[in-house]
A = this chain, B = another copy of it.
Amino acid sequence: MALNSWNTQLARAEKVFSSYTEAEFYLPVAPGKNRILYLYGHLATVHDALKETLGLAKRTRPELAVLFLQNADNPAAEFPAYADLKEYWNNVHDELKVLFTNLPAEEWFKRHNAMTDEDFEKDPSRNRLSVLLNRANHVAYHLGQVILLKPGE
């Protein structure tokens, strides 16, 4: 069910992002706000790091954290090219798909790497599934912004 929630949000994200042209990727979602390209890179980078948080694999491009995690969008930022980011997005999500498909159900209820054994003992609901639910909400959050460039939304 949590996987359903994640898959649904991700499918929506891919649909919305792919509805924009390359030129539109360089438009902010509202005046003075993040550009679509930034939010696209941000989500890809967060999901790249998700592999590590879940303890399933290493990040593919840790160097992108400075651009897309530690800093907000800004005019001076030198982003990877659109095509490069698209490839990154696809690779990250293809890899996650395989990792999630192969993860035995009981593994989802184990603790993630961002917390200690001691904290986990106190609150066993803070497991891999809860991280996934959190990330699904995070996708929805930014999707609500990305959609604003559509007329009538």
- Residues on A lying within 8 angstroms of B by beta carbon are 1-2, 4-5, 8-9, 29-31, 33, 72, 125, 127, 129-130, 133-134, 136-138, 140-145, 148, 152-153
The oligomer's copy count stands at 2
Chief secondary structure at chain A's binding surface: helix
Query: Which single member of B31, B136, B143 contacts A30 (CB below 8 Å)?
Result: B31
Q: Considering the chains assembled together, what is the distance between the CA atoms of A133 and B129 in angstroms? A: 12
Q: Considering the chains assembled together, what is the distance between the CA atoms of A145 and B130 in angstroms? A: 24
The residues of B that contact A8 with a CB separation of less than 8 Å are 134, 137
Complex contact A4–B148 (CB within 8 A): no
Query: Which single member of B133, B144, B152, B153 contacts A133 (CB below 8 Å)?
Result: B133
The residues of B that contact A145 with a CB separation of less than 8 Å are 144-145, 148
The residues of B that contact A136 with a CB separation of less than 8 Å are 133, 137
Assess A4 versus B125: contact at CB under 8 Å? Given A30-B30, A148-B33.
yes
The residues of B that contact A138 with a CB separation of less than 8 Å are 140
Complex contact B1–A153 (CB within 8 A): no
Q: Considering the chains assembled together, what is the distance between the CA atoms of A18 and B149 in angstroms? A: 26
Q: Considering the chains assembled together, what is the distance between the CA atoms of A143 and B2 in angstroms? A: 20
